[in-house]
Amino acid sequence: MRILMVCLGNICRSPTAEAALREAADEAGIDIEVDSAGTGAWHVGNPPDERMTAAAREVGLTLDGAARQVTPEDLDDYDLVLAMDLENLRDLRSIAPTGLPDDRIRLFRSFDPEGPDEDVPDPYYGGPRGFSDVVTMARRTAGELVRRIDAGEL
């Protein structure tokens, strides 16, 4: 299965969700290809935000790679595209190829047992707590996503 995580700039939320899903899949012994991208182009080529990287490192997650912008081709290439918030979801659906099933593009937290269909708040303009909250949400949601994949629900 190929999964793409998408946020606005691809420097905070989506790289964290990518790392959390990789961790959960590795722990479960499930083969998942995961990547991340942003709907905007502001940070293309940049590494993940240092504050996000530090918060992830505190729980053993490694954020790497460089920000990139999502393309319409990505939406065809991935089995599941997970948006971090409703604005990203709308942006993704606006560039989706005609005929792409709606359930291929969803909110990431639609898999969160504690906050289904809620946004992952953007921590970019906030303090340290926002970054650690994103890590917690990402790990919890990724764990449930892997459980559902392993159970054959996806």
- Annotated catalytic sites, by residue? 7, 13, 122
97 SS3 class: coil
Burial class (CB in 10 A: 0-12, 13-18, 19+), 19: buried
* Residue among 137, 9, 146 at smallest CA distance from 61: 137
Question: What are 58's strand-pairing partners?
Answer: none
Eight-class DSSP state of 104: G
Q: From CA 84, how far away is CA 141, in angstroms rounded?
A: 11
What are the E-state strand segments in the chain?
2-7, 33-38, 80-83, 105-107
